[in-house]
Structure formats: C-alpha cells, structure tokens
C-alpha cells in the first residue's frame, strides 16, 4: 500500500513530533510519506510614508531561511528510515494557508494532521484539506498513537451523504480490521435509516467481508461527540470514522457540532471525510 500523507505545519520549530508520528505511521504500513511544511508569514509592518519597513523585510527573509533549514532537516531525518518520501514546503500569507493545504492534499490518499501546530492554523489546515481536496483527513491525538492499520474501528453512522462517503473511504481499513462497531446515537426509524436503523449499512459492510456490530446508543443528555468518544474507549477502538460537517461551517462555528468538537478534542484518532 502506498499512501501520500501531506503534513501541514505553521511553526517551523514545532514540526519534529508530527514528523516522527507520520514517519512511524508510514513505516508500519509501508506507505509513501509526502511531507508538507507550511510557514505562515508575519503580518506586514509599515514605516514612514507607508513604505515597507526594513525590519519586516528582515523578518520575512529570516522566515524563508527557517523554512529552507526545516525542509533540509526533514529530508535528513527521513532519508535513512527505509521508506519512500518527498518533502515540500510553502511560505504563505495567512489567508492562503487552507487553500495550499487543500491543493497539496488532492494528490494524497489521506492527509495526516498532527498535534504540535498552532491551534488556529491546525483548524485551517483541517478545513482546507476537508473542503478543497476531496480526500479524507486523519487527526492524530496526544493520547493514542495513530495507525493506518487499526484493529478495531468505530464508524459513526447517521445515514447522511457525509457518513456514506466516510464509510466508503475507510472500506479497506475496515476490511483489514478485526471488528467494526457501527454506532448510531438516538436513532429512529425513518426513510433514511430504515425500519431497523443501522441494518442497511451493516449488510453493505458485511458483503465486503467486514465483521460488523451495530450499536444503537442513547445520548442520555450527553453531546454526540461525548457518546462517540466514550464508546470508542469502551470498545478499544483505534480509530473513529465519521462524516464531517453535516451542517454548514458557519453553523458549526457559531453553535458547535460533532465535527468541531472532534477536531478540537479528539480522544482517539479520527478519520474525517467531507
């Protein structure tokens, strides 16, 4: 299996831990690693007569040098690890960071987003990959190692297009897993869910030789992300697979939502698909 895994990063001096995570993940799965280091430019400063200040130009020159040094360091770190890789980088203005990540991610099977980057850039990198690449995004956590070969998977299911795409993207992972728990929170019989919620997707997965268990869980006053996280822990899941942004981004940002919560506080690694 060969997967390209672009790795976004805002601060050049913070990328080492995420690079190690990506390298371990690809080495275990015999996958190709495509590293993408991003340096976001400092805000412009203006001197007298609206001229660009010399100090700001010096800062930009230093940032470009930092990026070059980080790219060379990453190549040096990876060259003796025994798997194929490539390393690229971009120096960009803040407004273009998410577009850059999304454009790069189009040429990878999955985008791995680490935990060491600045939170504001991390959120933009995730949204860029989700909305501009048509590829899944794999979120690492500080609590549990991330893998492309999970033994147990939790598939969050609500019969939406997003969850359908997520199931399809994770199909190979689920085929190789020891078991998959399809989880529905507060499900009800409907046109989309059928008379027995979860039965249709379980049948579909079973046709592919996947070992499926359907779990219909009550929220009992808890948020859906809390129910999913707790059930992932209870079932020893190494990965949560979920469709992202069932509501608009604006609604998620203003009112909150499952996607937003899992992005901000993932308990186990999460594979998101838009």
Distance between CA atoms of residues 18 and 138, nearest Å: 12
What is the structure's pLDDT at 57? Answer: 81
State the burial class of residue 220 (Cβ atoms within 10 Å of its Cβ: 0-12, 13-18, 19+): exposed
- Predicted TM-score (pTM) of this structure: 0.89
Distance set, CA 80 to CA 44, 84, 196 (Å): 40, 10, 53
What is the structure's pLDDT at 159? Answer: 92
- Strand pairing of 152-156 and 179-185? parallel
Q: What is the pLDDT along the chain (274 residues), one digit of tens a residue?
A: 344 555 433 345 578 889 999 999 999 999 999 999 999 887 776 655 455 677 778 888 999 999 999 999 999 999 989 899 999 999 998 889 899 999 999 999 999 998 888 888 888 899 999 999 999 999 999 888 999 999 999 999 999 999 999 999 999 999 999 999 999 999 986 666 778 899 999 999 999 999 999 999 999 999 999 999 999 999 999 999 999 986 555 444 533 489 999 999 899 999 999 9
Contact (Cβ atoms closer than 8 angstroms) between residue 154 and residue 228: yes
Distance between CA atoms of residues 88 and 68, nearest Å: 10
């Amino acid at each position: 299996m060969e997967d390209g895994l672009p790795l976004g990063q805002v601060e050049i001096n913070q990328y080492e831990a995420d690079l190690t995570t990506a390298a371990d993940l690809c080495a275990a799965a015999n996958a190709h690693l495509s590293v993408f280091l991003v340096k976001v430019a400092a805000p412009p400063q203006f001197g007298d007569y609206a001229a660009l200040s010399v100090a700001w130009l010096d800062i930009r020159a230093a940032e470009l040098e930092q990026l070059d040094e980080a790219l060379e360091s990453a190549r040096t770190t990876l060259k003796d690890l025994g798997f194929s890789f490539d390393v690229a980088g971009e120096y960009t203005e803040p407004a273009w960071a998410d577009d850059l990540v999304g454009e790069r991610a189009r040429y990878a099977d999955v985008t791995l987003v680490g935990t060491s980057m600045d939170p504001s850039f991390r959120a933009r990198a995730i949204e860029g990959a989700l909305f501009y690449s048509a590829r899944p995004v794999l979120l690492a956590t500080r609590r549990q190692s991330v893998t492309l070969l999970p033994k147990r998977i939790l598939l969050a299911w609500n019969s939406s297009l997003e969850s359908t795409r997520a199931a399809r993207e994770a199909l190979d992972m689920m085929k190789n897993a020891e078991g998959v728990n399809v989880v529905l929170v507060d499900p009800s019989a409907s046109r989309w869910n059928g008379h027995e919620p979860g039965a249709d997707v379980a049948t579909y997965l079973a046709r592919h030789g996947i070992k499926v268990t359907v779990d219909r869980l009550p929220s009992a006053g808890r948020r859906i992300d809390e129910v999913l996280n707790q059930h992932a822990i209870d079932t020893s899941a190494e990965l949560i697979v979920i469709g992202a942004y069932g509501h608009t981004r604006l609604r998620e940002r203003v009112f909150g939502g499952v996607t937003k919560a899992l992005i901000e506080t993932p308990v186990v690694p999460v594979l998101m698909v838009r």
